[in-house]
Amino acid sequence: MGLAEISFPSEVENVVYGHCYFDLYINDVLIRRMTLPSGHHKRVCSLVDTLHREQRSQIPLQSHEPLLVEFSYVNGKILIKLQENIVTEFSRDLSRMLGFDEYVKYRRNVAAKRSTSLTVGDVSSAYVYVTPLWT
């Protein structure tokens, strides 16, 4: 067995549709799953902008109305500010990117425990095994 070709993508999406989302609850009743569109965010501010934009597009909020969950990036960590009676919970992939715990319901304004990480979560190494052509 020999190796003919190896291909690596030139860019890997760090936000994969269906894997990066956060749930919004009002008084512990799920009202909406906010699923982010697929894409590659090189900067945290780009991801924060997408989180805000998706709230405005998926929930009928006027431009003057406050977001239900407001995200900010301060000193390498994400802060969330929740409107009254709002609870949020992050998917595994999004929580890892934002520095929050996965599948934990956040009921108050809080800063992430960990720094943000925009690296692709489950891809860190590629291994190629080759059987020599001669023995």
Model confidence, pTM: 0.78
Q: What is the pLDDT of residue 123?
A: 44
pLDDT at 34 over 90: yes
CA-based nearest residue to 15, from 73, 93, 89: 93
- For residue range 73-128, list pLDDT tens digits in order: 999 899 999 999 999 999 999 999 999 998 899 999 999 999 988 875 544 444 45
Mean pLDDT throughout 34-59? 91
Amino acid at 120: V
* Separation CA 84–CA 32 (nearest Å): 16
- The string of DSSP codes covering 13-45 is -SB-TTTSEEEEEETTEEEEEEEPPPB--SSHH
Domain ranges of the chain: 21-111
Q: What is the pLDDT of residue 124?
A: 43
Q: Which is more confidently placed, 1 or 116? A: 116
